[in-house]
Copies of this chain bind each other. A is one copy, B any other.
Amino acid sequence: MPSSWGKIFKVSTFGESHGEAVGVVVEGVPAGIPIRLEEIQKDLSRRRPGQSKLTTPRDESDTVQVLSGVFEGKTIGSPIALVVHNQNTISKDYENLRETFRPSHADYTYQAKYGFRAHVGGGRSSVRETIARVAAGAIARMILEDDFGIKTVAWVDTIGKIASDLPESKFPRTREEVDVNEVRCPDIAAAEKMRALILEMKEAGDSVGGIIRCASYNLPPGLGDPVYDKLDGDLAKAILSIPACKGFEVGSGFSGTLLTGSSHNDEFYMEEGTGRVRTKTNHSGGLQGGISNGETLTVRAAFKPTSTIFKKQNTVSIDGKDTVLEAKGRHDPCVLPRAVPIVEAAVNLILVDAYLYQRAMNPLWFQKWAKVPDYYRDLKL
């Protein structure tokens, strides 16, 4: 099972829902960077379950431990291993799943692929794997913030048929603006309706999906590689690898197909004062030809309703018999609020990798666009 990512900033994750631990090894982290462990922990805590009535009651502190790569508080260039031990596992809740496949879950496909599976807690297909990415994403985020001031902020855009209504000029620019409510939707009126819908679904033993939007601010132009490693392609892969994600779009995305070229094109102009090339509109979502153009990077990700529900469903058993399943265990009626930091992590991981690759390709670009953080000056070459 390939579980690694990235050309230079490579993450390799491991861990199952009910195994000993989940974790990640990150190689390709430059040396000398102060690692603020409390920030990694903070990102993990935004993702962890049990934070509100909207999420699964599985209560995990998700305390991260650094096993390597950091010395006296700074990176030393060697692989950074981060581990979170699983604590609150209740395997008996899953005994009936040893023989039975949950509809629209990964139970059957794992069995068909491997011929053997860890049926408890969804095993490797569990959303617990995303701990690894969030931890690695926090390191990525620090580099991006320190060198460019790049900020990536995601939020819940829709839940079911309830949509928020925020033009790009009103997009939240900090995570604090997103965390104002449990739903993580900065449109307060919409958030209230979303919250009600999620609780209604929870009550009914049912589930609901929605769309997350993510924006990245302060990207310099020139990030991303055209052709196969386009930033949008890499972002799509990273985001679609999050459990329950079924769709991705950048900029105008699917709705852009309704426009003509003359109305869709983003005309360029020179920004007064800064001398920067800007666009009047941003249907491109900050990317042209797969490369950042300096505008805000905006993407959206569609998440299906959680497949594990508490209603009876028809299904089949491992022995090929029709049967009926009634799920137990602890599950989110809606994954979106917790998926917000996961989407952010995915975006940060892709951006930092594109950045380091670009640094290899074009040192003048680094000189033009990057701030040189203080800690660089501590390096003694």
Contact = CB atoms under 8 A, between A and B. Distances in A.
A277 interface: yes
Copies in the complex: 4
B76 A114 contact: yes
A87 interface: no
Interface stretch (A26-34, A41-49, A170-178): A26-34
A350 to B, nearest CB: 11
Given A78-B16, A361-B31, A260 B201 contact: yes
Contacts of A287: 109
Contact of A112 (B16, B221, B249, B304): B221
Contacts of A58: none
A257 B105 contact: no
Contacts of A318: 380
A1 B320 contact: no
A360 B362 contact: no
Given A108-B293, A123-B78, A368-B381, A227 B241 contact: yes
A152 interface: no
Contacts of A243: 289
A112 B362 CA distance: 11
Contacts of A364: 115, 376, 379, 381
B291 A22 contact: no
A186 interface: no
Contacts of A376: 363-364
A101 B115 CA distance: 41
Given A74-B116, A112-B291, A364-B376, 17 more contacts: A2-B28, A2-B227, A4-B10, A14-B67, A14-B68, A31-B361, A103-B279, A104-B261, A105-B288, A109-B224, A111-B380, A125-B226, A209-B264, A227-B241, A243-B289, A318-B380, A356-B360
